[in-house]
């Protein structure tokens, strides 16, 4: 039976991130990414030294394009859900912020990532004294989470990978409690990508080929029944990736029209929204 386009995209993303999980590094082929290491990348996009030094080894894989845990202004006792949780980077940071009375849940469709994150749980419990983290295997278009059960949904550079983004936003709205919040860091298009880049598997795993225009993101948020609070665009993220000579972004840049660069097409986007009280 021929696979649908959505199934094909999921397979490509799952394969790419399974390989990343096995390497224990970031999207780049080398042990360190972008001319730097994952810790340097995380500091650049707003994570503190204190947050990074308390993480289990290997949880930070350099897969971020923002800091959704900071956007979310997490509070003790809240239940937080991370979409596309990878090795557990944002989940472990969120778990410390919500404390023993809260809970941090990660969902990822890649079995290798879930296994890696679950292995990190023991180290997290030993260093933090907290037992408030769990990881679930599942697709973000069909979250293995009950209706109206979480206070905050976060995601870091993942929703752009989905072949059905409107469905992801509907799922976010479904699992949020009334009055719940969304804090997402993602990549967004400033203008449409050339076809050669859009069809590239490397660009898809690098989160560029799956990115959509900022206005399209806004429309999906509103259509899901959420209230937009802010869409803040940062144009410097991709420029820094280019400056760090990330091999993935060099491949993408080579497919762009002469005289253009990835930063002309893609920016980092910080998204906050909420679900109305009923």
Distance CA 246, CA 26 (A): 11
3-state secondary structure 150-207: EEEEEEECCHHHCCCHHHHHHHHHHHEEEEEEEEEEEEEECCCCCHHHHCCHHHHHCC
- 68 pLDDT tier (thresholds 50, 70, 90): confident
CB atoms within 10 A of CB 111: 12
DSSP 28: S
| Residue 150: strand pairing partners | 176
Q: In the chain, how many domains are there?
A: 1
**177 conformational bin, left if phi > 0, alpha if psi -120 to 50, beta if neither:** beta
Distance CA 241, CA 249 (A): 7
What are the tokens at 138?
């599942």
CATH of the domain at 236: 3.40.50.150
Q: Domain range spanning residue 172?
A: 5-275
Render pLDDT for 108-128 as a digit per residue (tens, 0 to 9): 999 988 999 999 999 999 999
Distance CA 259, CA 169 (A): 36
Distance CA 158, CA 176 (A): 18
CA separation, residue 16 to residues 130, 218, 237, 238 (Å): 32, 28, 22, 20
Q: Region 13-21: what's the mean pLDDT? A: 56
Phi first, then psi: give them for residue 259, nearest 5 degrees: 85, 0
Stretch among 106-120, 162-176, 235-249 having the lowest mean pLDDT = 235-249
Render pLDDT for 41-51 as a digit per residue (tens, 0 to 9): 555 555 666 76
- 180 pLDDT tier (thresholds 50, 70, 90): very high
User: Long-range contact list for 164-167, CB < 8 A, 24+ apart?
Assistant: 164/6, 165/212, 165/217, 165/220, 166/220, 166/223, 166/224, 167/141
Interacting residues of 179 by C-beta distance below 8 A, sequence separation 6+: 274, 275, 276, 277
């Amino acid at each position: 039976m021929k696979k649908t386009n959505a199934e094909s995209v999921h397979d490509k993303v799952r394969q790419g991130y399974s390989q990343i999980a096995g390497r224990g590094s970031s999207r780049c082929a080398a042990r360190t990414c972008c001319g730097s290491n994952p810790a340097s990348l995380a500091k650049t996009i707003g994570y503190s030294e204190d947050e990074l030094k308390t993480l289990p080894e290997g949880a930070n894989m350099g897969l971020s394009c923002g800091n959704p845990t900071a956007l979310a202004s997490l509070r003790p006792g809240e239940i937080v859900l991370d979409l596309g949780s990878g090795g557990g980077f944002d989940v472990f940071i969120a778990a410390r912020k919500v404390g023993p009375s809260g809970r941090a849940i990660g969902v990822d469709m890649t079995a290798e990532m879930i296994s890696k994150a679950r292995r990190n749980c023991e180290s997290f419990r030993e260093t933090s004294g907290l037992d408030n983290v769990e990881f679930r295997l599942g697709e973000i278009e069909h979250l293995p989470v009950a209706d109206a059960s979480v206070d905050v949904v976060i995601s870091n550079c993942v929703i752009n990978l989905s072949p059905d983004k409107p469905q992801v936003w509907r799922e976010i709205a479904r699992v949020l409690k009334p009055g719940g919040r969304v804090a997402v860091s993602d990549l967004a298009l400033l203008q449409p990508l050339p076809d050669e880049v859009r069809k590239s598997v490397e660009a898809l795993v690098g989160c560029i080929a799956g990115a959509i225009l900022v206005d399209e993101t806004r429309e999906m948020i509103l259509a899901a029944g959420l209230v937009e609070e802010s869409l803040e665009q940062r144009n410097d993220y991709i420029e820094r990736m280019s400056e760090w000579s990330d091999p993935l972004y060099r491949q993408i840049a080579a497919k762009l029209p002469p005289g253009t660069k990835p930063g002309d097409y893609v920016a980092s986007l910080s998204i906050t929204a909420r679900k109305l009280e009923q």
